[in-house]
Amino acid sequence: MKLGRLINAIAALIFVFCVAVIASPLTAVAAPSSYQQTCSDISIKDNVLSAICRKRDQSPNSTAITLKGIENIDGTLKVVDPQKTANFNLSCTGTSVAGAEISSQCRKINGNFVSTRTSINGIENIDGVLKYTSTP
């Protein structure tokens, strides 16, 4: 009888563990951007990233992409909802890009501006075109 109870208890624990694993949200890890390895003249205006990117045949192509998900949260650039168009530019100024990182002066709730930066994730150069290949 005791062995039967032990087996039932172990089976119940395994079941609870499996339900917990299945029900828990999976956190997506954003892939680092790689466009900066094959693109030049990288710039940002408002929420649009522009660059000259090499195509497979090595010819240059002018391309641009609207950034996703980046918002100003009380003076800090953060990816909040990767499905939405980035809107940090509505309350940030002096935005610049270096490689796969943007820097800006963003307004806090109290009205002061502070320096902040964040990585741009998920963008690659696909045959001369900037494209999201993973969630930012």
pTM of the prediction? Answer: 0.76
Q: Does residue 71 sit in helix, strand or coil?
A: strand
Biggest distance spanned by C-alpha atoms of the chain = 76
Q: Are strands 113-119 and 92-98 parallel, antiparallel or unpaired?
A: unpaired
Please check the confidence at residue 59 and state whether its pLDDT lies above 90: yes
Considering only CA atoms, which of 72, 84, 85 is closest in space to residue 118?
Answer: 72
Percent of the chain surpassing pLDDT 90:
74
Residue 85 or 1, more confident: 85
Q: What is the mean pLDDT of residues 36-45?
A: 97
Closest CA to 41 of 66, 62, 68: 62
Query: Helix or strand or coil: residue 3?
Result: helix
C-alpha 127/C-alpha 59 separation (Å) is: 10
Q: Which helix (H) or strand (E) holds 21?
A: helix 2-23
Average model confidence (pLDDT) across the chain: 87
C-beta atoms surrounding 68 within 10 Å: 20
Q: 53 with 131: CB under 8 angstroms?
A: no
Please tell me the class of the 35-132 domain: mainly beta
